[in-house]
């Protein structure tokens, strides 16, 4: 552990440091159930090896899902991975891989406050893992798209998946292979195009 | 990859932050870009000194946390100390207020799209 500590001090920005001119940071969340490929997608497009950190929160008033309003405090910690893409001399985009389960969601309100939008990554073996995330993003009015990380599943059409998720027809649904850089990039492009269409027209 | 703070006692994290469990400045975003304004000074707490060395160039709060192997909440407190002491400054992210729908401008979105397409 000590050698790691010294390394961090001696090489201040492992990976590639941001240009000194960068002033703005944007965020996109990649939300999905365990093992669906969130970190894989982040790694495919990130300019740095994905890093890991933890957010901890004491779940006092934050737990709005519990209608019983239990008074006791409980500390919850989630580990999450993130990567980044330097967009130009002044802007950087951070990509956060976020576990979408209900019990973690309140932590994301803080981590992802002000994000550009979200990608819900789904796996047809466990579509139910993404129901809560989709409900929550809709309720928060955070723009999102759904990407089906295709593990060679030829059985389910996108229409099947859209029906199973009861997805709003206005929300883009695409297939991807999170391991492929071009495919992962296309997921992000689709999200940003969707956000642009929401911003330019359709004031909800 | 081992993360050292996992093995550390909560007592140590308590000491690092002088017993504080949440940052006074809740507004410090996870991707606020932190820039050191001066080099570490003699007698400075070691975590503060490490942050200043990390932030010779703009570095996001979340990256500082990852490199220090400390939870984001603890890192937020430490960085806030440095901001309050004038040792560092923060470039705030281009984002909407909390819980509001992002109101990113079309110009910014075009820029993001172009960069992604050229990736």
Q: Give the side-chain half-sphere CA count within 13 A for A59.
A: 19
Q: Find the range with the poorest average confidence among A111-115, B52-56, B66-70.
A: A111-115
Q: What is the pLDDT of residue A83?
A: 97
Smallest CA–CA distance, residue B85 to chain A, in Å, is: 21
- Give the number of other CB atoms < 10 A from CB of residue A166: 9
Confidence band, pLDDT 50/70/90 cuts, at residue B86:
very high
Q: Of A52-61, A115-124, B51-60, where does mean pLDDT reach its minimum?
A: A52-61
Distances from the Cα of A157 to the Cαs of A7, A57, A148, A161, in angstroms?
49, 39, 10, 6
Assign A15 a pLDDT band (cuts: 50, 70, 90): low
Q: Tell me what ipTM this predicted complex has.
A: 0.82
Global pTM value:
0.84
What's the CATH fold of domain A25-199? Answer: Rossmann fold (3.40.50)
**Contact A19/B115, CB-based, under 8 Å?**
no
At a CB cut-off of 8 Å and minimum separation 6, what does A179 contact?
A37, A40, A44
Instruction: Indicate the burial class of A193 (C-beta count within 10 angstroms; 0-12, 13-18, 19 or more).
Output: middle
State the residue range of the domain holding B85.
4-117
pLDDT digits (tens, 9 = 90+) for A46-63: 999 999 998 877 665 444
Dist CA A163 CA A176 (whole Å): 18
* Distance between CA atoms of residues A50 and A94, nearest Å: 10
Question: According to the model, what pLDDT value does residue A114 have?
Answer: 81
Quick check: A56 and B110 CB within 8 A?
A: no
Q: Cβ-count burial of B31 within 10 angstroms (0-12 exposed, 13-18 middle, 19+ buried)?
A: buried
Q: In chain A, what residues touch B110 (CB-CB under 8 Å)? A: 196
- Which of B32, B72, B103 lies at the smallest CB-CB distance from A55? B72
Which helix (H) or strand (E) segment is A31 a member of? Answer: strand A24-32
SS3 at position A29: strand
Give the pLDDT of residue A125.
87
pLDDT value for A11: 40
What is the average pLDDT across B52-65?
96
**Residue A71 pLDDT exceeds 60:** no
pLDDT above 70 (res B28): yes
Using CA atoms, how far apart are residues A50 and A39, in angstroms rounded to an integer? 7
The domain ranges of chain A are 25-199
73-92 of A, contacting B, C-beta below 8 A = 77, 79, 82, 84-85, 87-88, 91-92
Number of domains in chain B: 1
pLDDT tens digits, A133-152: 899 898 888 899 999 998 77
CB B82 within 8 A of CB B51: yes
Q: For residue B4, which of B13, B99, A20, A189 has the smallest C-alpha distance? A: B13
CB pairs under 8 A between A and B: 183
The answer to whether B59 touches B3, Cβ cutoff 8 Å, is no
Digit-coded pLDDT (tens) for B88-105: 999 876 554 444 444 578
Among all residues of chain A, which has the CA nearest to that of B89? Answer: A23
A50-59, A113-122, B58-67, range with the lowest pLDDT: A50-59
């Amino acid at each position: 552990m000590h050698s790691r500590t010294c390394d961090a001090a001696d090489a201040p920005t492992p990976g590639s440091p941001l240009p000194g001119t960068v002033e703005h940071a944007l965020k996109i969340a990649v939300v999905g159930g365990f093992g669906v490929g969130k970190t894989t997608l982040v790694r495919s497009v990130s300019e740095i090896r994905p890093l890991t950190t933890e957010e901890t929160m004491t779940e006092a008033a934050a737990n709005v899902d519990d209608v019983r309003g239990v008074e006791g405090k409980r500390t919850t910690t989630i580990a999450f991975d993130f990567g980044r893409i330097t967009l130009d001399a002044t802007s950087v985009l951070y990509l956060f891989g976020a576990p979408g389960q209900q019990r973690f969601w309140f932590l994301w309100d803080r981590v992802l406050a002000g994000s550009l939008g979200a990608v819900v990554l789904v796996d047809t073996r466990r579509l139910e893992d993404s129901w809560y995330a989709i409900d929550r993003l809709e309720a928060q009015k955070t723009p999102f798209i759904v990407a089906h990380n295709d593990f060679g599943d030829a059985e389910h059409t996108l229409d099947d998946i859209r029906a199973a998720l009861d997805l709003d027809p206005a929300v883009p649904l695409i297939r991807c292979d999170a391991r492929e850089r071009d495919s992962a990039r296309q997921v992000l492009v689709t999200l940003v195009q969707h956000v642009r269409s929401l911003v330019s027209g359709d004031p909800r | 990859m081992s993360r050292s703070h996992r093995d550390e006692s909560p007592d140590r994290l308590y000491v690092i932050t002088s017993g504080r469990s949440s940052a006074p400045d809740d507004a410090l975003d996870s991707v606020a870009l932190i820039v050191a304004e001066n080099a570490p000074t003699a007698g400075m707490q070691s975590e503060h000194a490490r942050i200043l060395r990390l932030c010779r160039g703009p570095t996001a709060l979340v990256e500082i946390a990852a490199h220090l192997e400390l939870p984001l909440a603890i890192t937020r407190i430490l960085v806030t100390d440095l901001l309050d002491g004038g040792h560092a400054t923060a470039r705030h992210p281009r984002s909407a207020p909390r819980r509001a729908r992002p109101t990113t401008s079309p110009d910014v979105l075009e820029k993001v799209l172009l960069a992604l397409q050229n990736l």
